[in-house]
Structure formats: structure tokens, C-alpha cells
């Protein structure tokens, strides 16, 4: 078994300290002579390829033997901007008074002792190329040097801002190994549980790797690699029949083809060499070509390049592949297809129009429905519903089948609105639902003609949209009673995208005990929080919302009065109390309501709630919370969503074709 210490892996993209320098901005370009511009391009066109040919970059990189020297090459996927800037950064190695005494000249020619020996022969054409650049740098004026250094700093900030590293979620891992290795075992289901951060499991700050998870990745990689070649190359991973166990050409072809899919980009030549050597050596040792393939698969599945989605930004030479992965993991929750890889290789994601065309094509694929259902499941915390427990003596109609039906009901409403291009605000206001026989019993409604048939609520029903669904009402209740605070908090965070502070440290969250002598509704019990300003400031935001839903019990059934259980030793009695369900949402005008139906109508009319749909999808898409810098994108995407009459697919298209998703430069 190959063991990699994933918990402590640092992903290096182009070298942790690589110098990424911008090309001259417009203002600087106007003050730069034509000759200077030509000289700057000379480095990327002539000297940089030469330095790679003589293999300077193999030692002078973040992981090379010369990593502690001043000279450090950008990564193999560095774009034109980074390469040009790297050339300017070499001014630190120039002797401006005597260019031929520059370290940049003395070291590679070995005129001054160089660990790498002579890389450029004195008197050669290569030496002339190097000297031409050294002379250019030595002629820069003090003002030009200052301008160049400022551009270096600004470009480095942009490089860091563009760099994105996100781990595959468990769902994405399962789908990726399914499509990569035809594996249907869903190995990530046995990984340590993922944390929800701001309502989602894919937020970057919650994606660390614990030692336990690293071990799980290692074991999964070993099992998947064994299964891939069990009984021969039944998946057709090897490109052809090998001539011998140590057929290097066959091994290299396999490494390139499988590596492209596993890493979701072409491998660097160094990676090809490393994995091909691993393949050939193992095949020669065992006398089995398939053994070489197995060990490469196992190694690649533990690589950060597989487990993480690394995005280097629009200047990267693999930017098209990164965009293909960004599209695929958002729209399909899995790796790119062969067609997407081919499109990336052909540069077909070069404009918003082309990306939109691909997006609409991908949304027509069944995988898009599965991916959007994953977003829904996290947004509405279906895990809380499916894991809910209730007292079987009080709620005999509640079971795992019931909770599954509740999730299915909400999923069907979502899918109907999304894929039938309906107004998505009906998710809040729909006067119909998709009913099963189990739910009909809970809701006290007539049984549907068929399971999960679309049926209308009776006119007098207080149910409407998702707020009348058992999925919402169960997820926001306690095992034995409703929770106005939880329900109000859920509305604030999930449907208004508001942040509500956690209770202050040391504050008691317990409510007064109910007795037969002093029976109280939840509204009366929650009034205790108003006695403390530290508690009241937050409870005023959430409790009045949840109190409007008090007629719907912990399993989502309607009760006109509130039943409370009063225990006396081993016996108990049930008392029924009148409920006051007049409610409102602080901060929203004309927001009074007293039922799930009316709550949905209030939120559907609220621009804050409409925009929250955009924000929730934004957070899921980018794996982070929006910032003030993202507001122009949020506003533009929301405008397009609103102008489409709130068609969810148009929201997806607007988000995918935004400048942020495409990583287009500002200004």
C-alpha cells in the first residue's frame, strides 16, 4: 500500500514563492518605448525556453535541490504574464555596473562554482541570448526598476487571488471514481463525516484533511486500484497490448491518458517521467504489466492533484482545463467527460457565449439534475430530516419511510420548477405538492391517485410551498417538540442569507419547565429571552418567525392547539393550549403571517429573499461566502434571474457566464 501524509500536504502550484509578474498596465505601457516592449517579450520567446532546455528549472523550484536560492522558476503551467515577470525579477541577479559579473551570467556558465555545473557554454549562441537579456536589465533606469517592482507586487497579489484549491467533496469523490474507474461502490460514504459550514459541505475553510481522512483516502485508493485490474484490464485503461512487462512506451501512453483524466489536465513532463518510472519499475519487478498500472492508479488517486481541484487562474496554460472542471463539478458534480476534455484542448471555453452554449448542453444531461439535487439537499439540510428521531408512542405514523418521502416531496417540487422552467418563487408559494400515501396520512389529506402525484392543497389549508413540507418542519424541530427559534433561525440563514450570532458564552438556553400548575406555550416560555438584552437582540430576529408555524408539530402534522405533555412520576397527561400564531419578519415591511402559506408569500415578494437564492447558489458554486468585492457579480446575476421571471436554469447560466466564474480580469 502506498501511504501519503495527506494531512500535512502543501499543494504547490508553480512554486510557493514563484514570482508572478504582470505585463505592463495601460498607463505604464504608454511610458514604455517600443524597443523596451520588444525586449520584454524577448525573454518569454527566447531566453525562458533556453533556460528550460538546459534544465535550470529542475533544481530552481520550490521542491528542487536549489530551492533555497534566490532564483526560483514559476511552475510548468505558468502563463505569459508570470513568465515575463519572472524575467524582470532576474534584475536581482544583475551587476548593473559590470553585467558580465552578474550571478545570472557567472553561475550557469560555471565561471563561478555552480552546483549544477556548466549549463551554458561560454562563446555559444546560448551565451549570447543570456547576455542580451542581462544587458537589457542592466540598462533599466531607476524609475523603470521601481515601476517594474511595483508591477511585480501587484501581479503577485492577482496571482494569489486567482489561486484556488478545493478538495473534492465526498459526493464528488464518489461520482469521480464512478466515471474514472466505473466504480459503483461509493467509497466516500465510509469516509469521516463532512462538516457543514454556512449551510454547505464544500466551503473551502472546512475542507481540511485529518489523519483519519488521509488514512481513508489511502485505503480507498488501494481498493480502487486493485478492482480496476482485477481479472485483467477489463476497463481498457491500457492504451494497447504491451510488448513486454517493462514496455516503457506503453507505460508512458497509459500515464498520459489516465493522468489527464485523474488530474483533469495534461500531466507535466516531470510528472510523466515520475509515474512512468514507477510503472516500469513495478512491472519489471513483478513481471506483470497490470501491476505497474495498478500502482500508478493507486498513487494518482492519493495525489493532491486528484483529491483537490487546483485552479491557477486565467493566465495558466491549463486554464481551459480548469474551466472545464469548474463547469463539470458544478453542473454534474463529477469530473469532465471526454467531450469536455476535447473542448478544453481545442480552446472552446474562450468566451462567455461558448461557455453558455456548453452550459445549456450540460444542463440537458441527466447528471445536471443529480447535481442540482445535491445543492438542494445541502441547502435544506436533508441530513437533519433523514436522521430525525421521534417518540414512536406519540408519533406512530413517523418512520424512516416517512422522512424519505418528505425529502422526495421537496425534491420533486424543486425538480418540477427547475426542469419545467417554472417561476422558482413557487418554491415558496406553491398551492400544490407531490404527495405520497405516507405523507397524506401525516398531513391528513386524501391519498393521492399515484405515489408522489402532483395534487393541490385544499383551499382552507395553511400549507404552501416548501414551508408546508415535512422536510422543513421536521428539520427545524426537536425530537419531542417544535422549536420556534430553530425554525426562525433556518429562515434567516437559509432563505434570507442572514448571519445570526451564536448565543453569548455562558448564557443558559434552557426554557422554563412546563408543569400542570403552570402550563405554557412556546411563545410564553421564549419570553424569558426578552429579559436579557444579550439574548433579546437575536431572539427578536428569529423567534417571531418560528412562532407563526407553531400549529405544525415536530413531524409536520397540523394541530389547531398545542398539545403539551405533563408528567407525574410514571404517568402523564396531555393538555391542549390555545396558540397565537401571529408572526412577522423583523426588517421586512408588511411581513405579517400566521401559516406556512403566508410565510412563503411574504418571502416570495421580498427582494432580500429573492436575492438570497442567488447567494446560496453562489456559495455552493464557489465554495465560499460572498464578499463586498463580489457584490457587482451578485447584482448582475440577480438582475438576469429576475428578468427571466425567476427561472432557475437561467440563474445557473447567469452565474456560470459571470466574469467571476470565467475568471475574467476586472477593468
Angle, helix 607-622 to helix 596-605, in steps of 10 degrees: 80
Q: What residues are paired with 566 via a beta bridge?
A: 573
Alpha-carbon gap, residue 535 to 532, rounded angstroms: 5
Q: Is residue 74 over pLDDT 60?
A: yes
pLDDT band at 158 (very low <50, low <70, confident <90, very high): low
Percent of the chain with pLDDT over 70: 88
Check: CB of residue 583 under 8 Å from CB of residue 592: yes
Note the pLDDT of residue 502: 76
pLDDT in tens, 254-283: 999 999 999 999 999 999 999 999 999 999
Note the pLDDT of residue 78: 72
The top-scoring range by mean pLDDT among 102-116, 366-380, 512-526 is: 366-380
Note the pLDDT of residue 25: 33
This prediction has a pTM of 0.79
pLDDT in tens, 305-347: 999 998 887 888 899 999 999 999 999 999 999 999 999 999 9
Note the pLDDT of residue 534: 61
Measured from the Cβ of residue 116, the count of other Cβ atoms closer than 10 Å reads: 16
Measured from the Cβ of residue 424, the count of other Cβ atoms closer than 10 Å reads: 22
Higher pLDDT, 20 or 9: 9
Any idea what the Cα angle at residue 13 is, between residues 8 and 14, rounded to 5°?
135
Note the pLDDT of residue 562: 83
Which DSSP string do the residues of 48-99 spell out, in sequence order?
A: HHHHHHTTGGGTSSTTSTTTTSS--PPPTT--HHHHHHHHHHGGGG--SS-G
Note the pLDDT of residue 115: 79
Check: CB of residue 543 under 8 Å from CB of residue 522: no
C-alpha 347 chain-centroid distance: 23
Which DSSP string do the residues of 563-602 spell out, in sequence order?
A: EEEEEETTEEEEEEE-----B--TTSTT--BSSHHHHHHH
Cβ-in-10-Å burial (0-12, 13-18, 19+) of 590 comes to exposed
Q: Are strands 432-435 and 164-167 parallel, antiparallel or unpaired?
A: unpaired
Q: Which three cell numbers stand for residue 254?
A: 497509459
Note the pLDDT of residue 32: 36
When mean pLDDT is compared across 42-46, 194-198, 235-239, the lowest value belongs to 42-46
Q: Is residue 5 over pLDDT 50?
A: no
Average pLDDT over residues 58-62: 72
Q: To which residue does cell 383551499 refer? A: 459
Summary mean pLDDT of the chain: 87
pLDDT in tens, 239-258: 988 888 779 999 999 999 99
Q: Which long-range contacts (CB under 8 A, 24 or more apart) does 510-516 make?
A: 514/564, 514/566, 515/566, 516/566, 516/568, 516/573, 516/575
What are phi and psi for residue 290, nearest 5 degrees? -65, -30
3-state secondary structure 474-509: HHCECCCCECHHHHHHHHHHHHCCCCCCCCCCCCCC
Note the pLDDT of residue 297: 98
Q: Is residue 531 over pLDDT 70?
A: no
The top-scoring range by mean pLDDT among 23-27, 55-59, 94-98 is: 94-98
Which DSSP string do the residues of 5-51 spell out, in sequence order?
A: -GGG----SS-TT----PPPPHHHHHTS-HHHHHHHHHIIIIIHHHH
Check: CB of residue 599 under 8 Å from CB of residue 467: yes
Note the pLDDT of residue 196: 92
Average pLDDT over residues 422-450: 97
When mean pLDDT is compared across 9-23, 127-141, 428-442, the lowest value belongs to 9-23
Higher pLDDT, 24 or 191: 191
Contacts of 374 (CB under 8 A, 6+ apart): 171, 333
Note the pLDDT of residue 41: 80
Average pLDDT over residues 359-386: 97
Higher pLDDT, 567 or 65: 567
Note the pLDDT of residue 22: 30
The top-scoring range by mean pLDDT among 16-20, 66-70, 106-110 is: 106-110
Q: Positive or negative CA dihedral for 269, 275, 276, 277?
A: positive
Note the pLDDT of residue 226: 97
Check: CB of residue 216 under 8 Å from CB of residue 202: no
Q: Is residue 569 over pLDDT 70?
A: no
Check: CB of residue 663 under 8 Å from CB of residue 314: yes
Average pLDDT over residues 450-456: 97
Widest distance between CA atoms in the chain: 104
What are phi and psi for residue 486, nearest 5 degrees? -65, -40
Alpha-carbon gap, residue 461 to 592, rounded angstroms: 18
Higher pLDDT, 28 or 370: 370
Q: Is residue 23 over pLDDT 60?
A: no
Q: Which three cell numbers stand for residue 613?
A: 437564492
Q: Is 260 helix (H, G, I), strand (E, B) or coil?
A: helix
Q: Which three cell numbers stand for residue 515?
A: 408543569
Higher pLDDT, 589 or 23: 589
Note the pLDDT of residue 242: 83
Check: CB of residue 317 under 8 Å from CB of residue 329: no
When mean pLDDT is compared across 192-206, 387-401, 490-504, 512-526, the lowest value belongs to 512-526
Amino acid at each position: 500500500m502506498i501511504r501519503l501524509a495527506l494531512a500535512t500536504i502543501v499543494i504547490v502550484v508553480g512554486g510557493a514563492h514563484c514570482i508572478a509578474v504582470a505585463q505592463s498596465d495601460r498607463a505604464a505601457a504608454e511610458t514604455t518605448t517600443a524597443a523596451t516592449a520588444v525586449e520584454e517579450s524577448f525573454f518569454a520567446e527566447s531566453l525562458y525556453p533556453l533556460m528550460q532546455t538546459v534544465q535550470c528549472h529542475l533544481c530552481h523550484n520550490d521542491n528542487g535541490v536549489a530551492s533555497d536560492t534566490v532564483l526560483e522558476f514559476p511552475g510548468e503551467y505558468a502563463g505569459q504574464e508570470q513568465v515575463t515577470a519572472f524575467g524582470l525579477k532576474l534584475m536581482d541577479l544583475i551587476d548593473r555596473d559590470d553585467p558580465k559579473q552578474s550571478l545570472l551570467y557567472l553561475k550557469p556558465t560555471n565561471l563561478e562554482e555552480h552546483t549544477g555545473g556548466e549549463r551554458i557554454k561560454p562563446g555559444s549562441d546560448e551565451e549570447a541570448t543570456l547576455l542580451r537579456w542581462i544587458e537589457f536589465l542592466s540598462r533599466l533606469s531607476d524609475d523603470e526598476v521601481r515601476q517594474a517592482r511595483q508591477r511585480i507586487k501587484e501581479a503577485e497579489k492577482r496571482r494569489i487571488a486567482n489561486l484556488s484549491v478545493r478538495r473534492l467533496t465526498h459526493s464528488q469523490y464518489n461520482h469521480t471514481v464512478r466515471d474514472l474507474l466505473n466504480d459503483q461502490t461509493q467509497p466516500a460514504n465510509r469516509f469521516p463525516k463532512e462538516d457543514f459550514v454556512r449551510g454547505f459541505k464544500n466551503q473551502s475553510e472546512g475542507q481540511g484533511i485529518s489523519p483519519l481522512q488521509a488514512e481513508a483516502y489511502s485505503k480507498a485508493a488501494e481498493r480502487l486500484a486493485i478492482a480496476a485490474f482485477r481479472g485483467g484490464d477489463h476497463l481498457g485503461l491500457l492504451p494497447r497490448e504491451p510488448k513486454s512487462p517493462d514496455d516503457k512506451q506503453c507505460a508512458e501512453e497509459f500515464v498520459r491518458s489516465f493522468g489527464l483524466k485523474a488530474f483533469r489536465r495534461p500531466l507535466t513532463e516531470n510528472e510523466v517521467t515520475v509515474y512512468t518510472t514507477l510503472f516500469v519499475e513495478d512491472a519489471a519487478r513483478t513481471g506483470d504489466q497490470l501491476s505497474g498500472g495498478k500502482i500508478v492508479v493507486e498513487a494518482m488517486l492519493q495525489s493532491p492533484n486528484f483529491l483537490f481541484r487546483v485552479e491557477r487562474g486565467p493566465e495558466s496554460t491549463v486554464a481551459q482545463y480548469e474551466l472545464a472542471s469548474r463547469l463539470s463539478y458544478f453542473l454534474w458534480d463529477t469530473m469532465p467527460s471526454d467531450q469536455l476534455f476535447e473542448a478544453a484542448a481545442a480552446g472552446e471555453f474562450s468566451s462567455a457565449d461558448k461557455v453558455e452554449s456548453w452550459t445549456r448542453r450540460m444542463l440537458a444531461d441527466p447528471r445536471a439534475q443529480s447535481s442540482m439535487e445535491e445543492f438542494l439537499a445541502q441547502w435544506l439540510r436533508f441530513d437533519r430530516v433523514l436522521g430525525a428521531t421521534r417518540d414512536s408512542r406519540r408519533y406512530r405514523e413517523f418512520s424512516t419511510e416517512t422522512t424519505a418521502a418528505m425529502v422526495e416531496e421537496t425534491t420533486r417540487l424543486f425538480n418540477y420548477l427547475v426542469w419545467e422552467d417554472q417561476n422558482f418563487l413557487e418554491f415558496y408559494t406553491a398551492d400544490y405538492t407531490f404527495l405520497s400515501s405516507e405523507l397524506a396520512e401525516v398531513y391528513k389529506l386524501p391519498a393521492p391517485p399515484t405515489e408522489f402525484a402532483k395534487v393541490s392543497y385544499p383551499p382552507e389549508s395553511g400549507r404552501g410551498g416548501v414551508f408546508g413540507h415535512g422536510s422543513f418542519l421536521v428539520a427545524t424541530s426537536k425530537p419531542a417538540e417544535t422549536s420556534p427559534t430553530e425554525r426562525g433561525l433556518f429562515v434567516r440563514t437559509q432563505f434570507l442569507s442572514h448571519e445570526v450570532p451564536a448565543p453569548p458564552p455562558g448564557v443558559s438556553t434552557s426554557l422554563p419547565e412546563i408543569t400542570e400548575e403552570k402550563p405554557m406555550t412556546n411563545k410564553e416560555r421564549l419570553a424569558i429571552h426578552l429579559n436579557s438584552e444579550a439574548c433579546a437582540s437575536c431572539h427578536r430576529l428569529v423567534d417571531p418567525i418560528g412562532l407563526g408555524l407553531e400549529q405544525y408539530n415536530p413531524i409536520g402534522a397540523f394541530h389547531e392547539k398545542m398539545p403539551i405533555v405533563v408528567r407525574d412520576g410514571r404517568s402523564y397527561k396531555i393538555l391542549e393550549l390555545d396558540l397565537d400564531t401571529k408572526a412577522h419578519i423583523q426588517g421586512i415591511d408588511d411581513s405579517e403571517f400566521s401559516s406556512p402559506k403566508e410565510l412563503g408569500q411574504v418571502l416570495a415578494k421580498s427582494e432580500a429573499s429573492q436575492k438570497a437564492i442567488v447567494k446560496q447558489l453562489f456559495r455552493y458554486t464557489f465554495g465560499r461566502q460572498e464578499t463586498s468585492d463580489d457584490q457587482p457579480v451578485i447584482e448582475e446575476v440577480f438582475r438576469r434571474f429576475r428578468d427571466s421571471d425567476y427561472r432557475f436554469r437561467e440563474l445557473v447560466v447567469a452565474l456560470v457566464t459571470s466574469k467571476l466564474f470565467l475568471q475574467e480580469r476586472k477593468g
